Structure 1
Amino acid sequence: MAHFPGSPEKTRESLLPKLRLKPWLRASPPGIILRNARIIDPAESRVLDGYQDVVIKDGLIASLNPSELNTVEPQLAEVDLGGKFLCPGLIDCHVHVTAVPGVRSMGEITQTPLELIHLRSTYVLREMLLRGFTTVRDTGGASKALADAIAEGLVLGPRLVQCGKALSQTGSLYCRTRCLLRPDVRGTAGGHADFGAGDTGTGCCGGHSHSLGRTCDGVPEVLKAARDTLKGGADFIKIMCGGGVASPTDSIESVQFTGEEIHAITTTCEQMGNVHTTAHAYTDAAVRHAIDNGVKGIEHGNLIGRETAELMASKGIFLTPTLSCYGIMVRPPWEDFLPPDGKAKNEQVMSRGLDALKIADDAGIIICYGSDLLTSMHALQTEEFTVRNSILPSARVLKHATTNAALMLRDSKLGKIASGCYADMLVLDVNPLDDVTILDYPEDHLFAVIQGGRVVSSRLKALKAESSA
């Protein structure tokens, strides 16, 4: 048999896997049995009776049986968890993985080379997975290409649900935003995701190639933007329907896009396979504007009142609050992240956020977990558990990041530990149904992360993490 010059020990057969079209594709993870586990059921806010054995095959949970039944599958490795808790993998429904560390402000992100943003996003994704978030929903910035790279094993990270770029109306006629290169120029009626002069890559702000959103105005433009986004592989569409903290040219109270524009987007999404739509909105006016025109979800909602919450509940509108980010953005080392007017808006929404969460919970809205962190703030992704637990029971908050999130993502294999579901699980030493804030201290309580049947990280001697080499 022929050998390669200089490497007589290497045969062509040994290199065959690397000759495939996509040589990075991995085989299914080896099966495993996790014995003597305490199984957390977030949907019912309970721990299953007794100790359970979980059989994992081909990335899925093959079966779940009480340990005394002593399931025997000699071909599978076995690990005794000794009564530790198995919790479904966490789901963060509002992230921006391309708002990467290495910059001091959102303005600097728009000046960062796109290739560098892509490379840094791999760090963000890896860290999210190691914190226990086995699935994330990116609400502006990520792409199908990145989601596919994760699914194929090329990039280590959570299962990624993405909307491409969020859709936003434009800003003023001057520059659409406080120009990053000319701070003396300031717009007056910006859209929340308008951080540039346009989508062409020209103009004094350098275009939108680095932004979390894209601008479009008028029914023809929004139809094209929505269809382009869906054509690009977006899993859902996000619409900026109101003002925001980080955008310098719009007030929180502003209501964005016309009803005709929003309705054009939501109708297109329904026609293209009932694609989910969600809206950035803080106030009653913005929320009602969105849902009156067919939007199915709301991001933030810090300023909603009881009547609006009851309307959302009656229509089955999902809500993803993002509460911890407001306190994080104004404390060291990020006290200068926002300009003065941004800090004022931040205080405005932060002061009402917990009240709105309680109103939404009382109304029966399906609430999902969202962190909405930027740059190096991603490291505090789990702080949202602690903030929400200040007014809601632990079991309710855990549901936000598991059961409810799976409902919104329309994936019955997520958010629970049951036969046929993804083998996405966390090994914990404390029951989060009793104290969900333990998830805010993964360094103390998170002993292993399993995603799709692969052991991503482990501090248990008997449970070895899969090598990433």
Structure 2
Amino acid sequence: MPSVDHLHHANGRANGHSHDDEVDKPFPGPSRTRPSLLPKLVLKPWLATAPAGLLLENARVVDPRSGALLDGLHSVVVERGKVTHVYPVDEPDLFAEEATLNKVDLAGRYLCPGLLDGHVHVTAVPGVRTIGELVRTPEEQVHYATTYVLKGMLERGFTTVRDTGGASQPLAKAIEEGLLVGPRLFQCGKAISQTGGHGDFMPAKSGGEPGCCGGHSASLGRTADGVPQVLKAVREELKAGADFIKVMVGGGVASATDAIETVQYSSDEIRAITDTCRQMGRKHSTAHAYTVEAIRHAVDNGVKGIEHGNLIDKETAEYLAEKGIFLTPTLSCYGIMVRPPFEDFLPPDGQVKNKEVMKDGLQALKLAEEAGVTVCYGSDLLTSMHALQTEEFTVRAEILSSPAILRHATINVAKMLGKEGLLGEIKPGAFADLLVLDANPLDDITVLDRPEDHLLAVVKDGRVAFSSLPELKTVEDEAKADSLRLKKRARLA
């Protein structure tokens, strides 16, 4: 019988860890125990073994970079979580005899890269009716409900998301290790806001601190005023593992104390944020901003991305393109927040501001695309609205082509995240994040807004997460089948 030490090293190798990794160290104790318990005695028993390789044959491969399908039918080989080969089916099949590959005939179905959403709030969870209730939701309840939000995003085809206020590194790590089901997560920790700014959801209070915890919101943001406080806030978020930093530079729809046209933070305060990001090895910072004045204030002081940007003009769009700024519009959320069953989600003043930014959003998107700005997909939905995450495809389709919009949700977000070539494409070396569709999103991007009709399977990191195809089984389905086979073999013996 193998020892705990022996099995532990084998488990570590299967997960791609070296013998020196923390996960590969056995607990002290007796070397003999029940064989069935050995896999559970390792330090992190939830770590899954490397997924079985896949050979996906006869696929119509969607290429967002060119905006076209690859010519003819192709085979795609997936090993150890990455795409290793993409080749026409009429070329010699070098992998047909490879025993470790699960061979699946897609029979001409469409194979699309996994989608990337560049603006989400996974901790803005269902279970409440209004924005006021949301920011008062107990933190522990938020943690539990976040697992529901994450699973739903993956089921809709989003294999990577960028959280712009609320998520944390431990949450991202739990997904990476397989402890939670969800998309790959990039996060900024808490968004940083001045007192009375868009990230300050504490009750107004004259004199002293702006509410409990120095103005922190359990779900989305934190307050910091003046260069010393701002420096501390940025350094704390980076220390906690933030992948980037978000700063509120203008007014917002959902916040009660700031008009849309307000410009927030001084130049010195914003410079403290952007300089710190650069000095601590994080090149990316982004700003919540709607107006021309707020956008220019952010970019002039070193911010690399703009969230929303609904009120830009032609000159500002050209300025963003010239500076290489990423723009992540979030257009569908404004219509969603005012129609049933969410018509009471915003307070009356918030509904007025919502109309103000909604009416010019599509025009701003058109100006940005024409100017050559790197435009990214963003949904920015809260509570039960997350279920409508794909509606952004339909809204953008009113003025833009399907290939352009697919680039927003693949290539462009990957570039913003510094993962170009790894995410948003089906090519050797890229992560094996794949969608099996029964329709071509390059012909009609709105098929992605109806995943219940057109999305047949989701593969993330080479692992089948969801599938309605009998021939493409999930890891759980394979495990159940193996268990049944073993039980049957035991009975026969």
Is 1:44 the counterpart of 2:66? The answer is yes
Post-superposition offset of 1:205? 5.7
Other-structure match for 1:122: 147
Q: Does 1:74 align with 2:98?
A: yes
Structure 1 residues 64 and 443 mapped into 2: Cα distance closer, same or farther (>3 Å)?
same
**Which residues of structure 1 form unaligned runs of 5+?**
3-9, 171-189
Q: Does structure 1 residue 150 correspond to structure 2 residue 175?
A: yes
- 3-state SS, counterpart of residue 302 of structure 1: coil
Partner of 2:289: 281
Corresponding residue for residue 6 of structure 1: none
Q: How many residues align?
A: 440
Amino acid in structure 1 at the alignment position of 2:418:
R
- Matching of residues 318-357 of structure 1 within 5 Å: 318-357=326-365
- One-letter amino acid of the counterpart of residue 243, structure 1: G
Q: Which amino acid aligns with 2:200?
A: D
Residue of structure 1 in register with 2:449 after alignment: 440
- Pick from 408, 422, 425 the counterpart of residue 431 of structure 2: 422
Is 1:91 the equivalent of 2:100?
A: no
Q: Match of 2:129?
A: 104
How many angstroms apart in 1 are the aligned matches of 2:282 and 2:330?
Answer: 26
Q: Deviations over 1:342-385 (max 9, x none)?
A: 00000000000000000101110000000000000000000000
TM-score, structure 1 normalization? 0.92
What amino acid sits opposite 2:62 in the alignment? I
Matched, 1:195 2:218: no
Task: Tell me by how many angstroms 1:209 deviates.
Answer: 4.7
- Paired with 1:281 and 1:203, the residues of 2 have a C-alpha distance of 23
Partner residue, 1:449:
458
TM-score (norm 2): 0.87
Q: Is the 8 A contact 1:109 1:210 kept in 2?
A: no
1:391-439 Cα deviation digits (max 9, x unpaired): 0001100000001111001113001000010000000111100100000
- Contact 2:64-2:403 at 8 Å conserved across structures: yes
The code of the aligned residue for 1:447 comes to L
Distance 1:348 1:247 in 2: 14
* SS, match of residue 44 in structure 1: coil
User: 2:230 is matched with which residue: 222, 237, 250?
Assistant: 222
The structure 1 residue matched to 2:469, chosen from 447, 451, 460, is 460
SS at match of 1:68: coil
Supply the distance in 2 between the matched residues of 1:349 and 1:95 (Cα, whole angstroms).
18
| Cα separation, 1, equivalents of 2:410 and 2:53 | 24
Q: How does 1:2-21 map to 2 (within 5 A)?
A: 12-21=34-43
Q: Residue deviations 1:82-110, cap 9 Å, x none?
A: 01010000000000000000011121123
SS at match of 2:375: coil
Tell me which residue corresponds to 2:315. Answer: 307
Q: CA deviation at 1:196?
A: 1.6
1:118 partner letter = H
Partner SS for 2:309: strand
Unaligned runs of 5+ in 2: 3-31, 480-493
Shift of 1:68: 1.4
Residue of structure 1 equivalent to 2:166: 141
Does the CA-based 8 Å contact 1:195-1:211 persist in structure 2? Answer: no
Cα deviation per residue 1:223-246 (whole Å; 9 max; x = unaligned)?
Answer: 111011000000000000000000
Amino acid at match of 1:41: D
* Among candidates 208, 227, 247, match of residue 239 of structure 1: 247
Superposed CA RMSD: 1.6
Question: Is the 8 Å Cα contact of residues 244 and 282 (structure 2) preserved in structure 1?
Answer: no
User: Which amino acid is 1:285 matched to?
Assistant: E
Corresponding residue number in structure 2 for 1:32: 54
Give the partner amino acid of 1:318.
F
Rounded to whole Å, the distance in 1 between the matches of 2:393 and 2:47 is 35
